[in-house]
Amino acid sequence: MNEVLRRYLLILMLTPLLGACSMGQMVARTSVSIMDGAIDAMNRETDLVLAEAALPANIKLIEGLIAEDPGNPVLLANAAQGLYGYAFGFTELEDPARASALYRRGTAYGLRALRALGVSLDLRNASPDAIDKALAGLGRDAVPALFWTASCWAKEIDLNRTDPARIAQLASTEHLMQRVLDLQPDYFDGSVHGYYGVYYGSRAPMFGGNFALSEQHFDQARAVSGGKLLIFDVLQAEYLERQRLDQAAFHKLLTRVVETPVGSYPEMALINQIARARARHLLGLEQEWF
């Protein structure tokens, strides 16, 4: 008898003892560990065409499980992560408007995850001080929800820079990321530092940017994986080096990404393939930008 069948038979035997917990909820909760395996497998994918085709089906599967267990913070955070990955990796450069809608959808799932973890505050409309108080009681189990909510939210803002109402919310995303930094600074290979590299590097100093802090955070991000996660080089080139008009650094970072052998970091192969594709795209814009 295979393992999946054994699990479902166990659920059936336990059903009379479950009371208010529905069969659908039990299936959804039992599927969480299977989803973890699916995410790991996707992260190891090197074929971008296959990954682009598979991701929407994975997202819809997660959404189906959420329909059965709508207050499950793990599934809700997984949905936010999946939408972020699909929007950033396969949509943003070709169709920014669609990517913005996907990021917004991811943010909504992330906010639901945080509500399921006990954050009752309306984070989109709350003051930074109120956000800090609302997040103060969260532990490490909330890190995925915090990180992917802030990531989707920040990208949604980034793609709508002409909207003052959304720009005003950027500080709120930073307060969510600060809680991640407090709880687990090495989460997702140090990606919270990648966020701060963009946060401080994408704006001129007169608008709150800090190039030295940006570079420091990018260095800290790279240190977690020993420089194997290439997306940090791409983000530094795209946001920091473009902002401070350092063409040599821009070109060097992106060239390094393109020339790094495929498979050099198998655990994060898909993200590195996305980084290579984005690096090639940005190199095509070098003469226009500089």
What are 208-251's pLDDT values in tens digits?
Answer: 899 999 999 999 999 999 999 999 999 999 999 999 999 999 99
Cβ atoms of 62 and 78 within 8 Å: the answer is: yes
Domain assignment present for residue 33? The answer is no
The pLDDT, as a whole number, for residue 30 is: 61
Cβ atoms of 48 and 277 within 8 Å: the answer is: yes
Residues 6+ apart with CB under 8 A from 205: 211
What are 175-218's pLDDT values in tens digits?
Answer: 999 999 999 999 999 999 999 999 999 999 998 899 999 999 99
CA atoms within 13 A on the CB side of 237: 30
Domain that holds residue 261: 185-192+199-210+218-285
- In the numeric block, the tokens 């992260």 are attached to 43
Q: In a 3-state reduction of DSSP, which class is residue 277?
A: helix
Q: Which residue has the higher pLDDT, 20 or 56?
A: 56
Indicate the average pLDDT of the chain. 90
Domain assignment present for residue 93? The answer is no
- Is residue 6 scored above 90 in pLDDT? no
What are 96-152's pLDDT values in tens digits?
Answer: 999 999 999 999 999 999 999 999 999 999 998 999 999 999 999 999 999 999 999
Domain assignment present for residue 31? The answer is no
Question: Which token pair is 152?
Answer: 């989707």
Residues 6+ apart with CB under 8 A from 5: none
Going by C-alpha positions, the residue among 152, 150, 192, 149 that lies closest to residue 171 is 150
Q: In a 3-state reduction of DSSP, which class is residue 45?
A: coil
Going by C-alpha positions, the residue among 242, 252, 187, 245 that lies closest to residue 220 is 187
Domain assignment present for residue 226? The answer is yes
The pLDDT, as a whole number, for residue 55 is: 95
3-state helix, strand, coil in the chain (%, to 5): 80, 0, 20
Specify the number of domains making up the chain: 1
Q: Report which DSSP code applies to 261.
A: P
Q: Which residue has the higher pLDDT, 1 or 282?
A: 282
Q: Which amino acid is at 148?
A: W
Domain assignment present for residue 66? The answer is no
The pLDDT, as a whole number, for residue 40 is: 86
Question: Which token pair is 207?
Answer: 């608008």
For 2: left if phi > 0, alpha if psi spans -120 to 50, otherwise beta; the answer is beta
Burial of 182 (0-12, 13-18, 19+ CB in 10 A): middle
Domain assignment present for residue 180? The answer is no
Question: Which token pair is 196?
Answer: 């701060």
Domain assignment present for residue 275? The answer is yes
- Is residue 282 scored above 50 in pLDDT? yes
> In whole angstroms, what is the distance from residue 213 CA to residue 267 CA?
28
The pLDDT, as a whole number, for residue 176 is: 98
Domain assignment present for residue 262? The answer is yes
Cβ atoms of 65 and 24 within 8 Å: the answer is: no
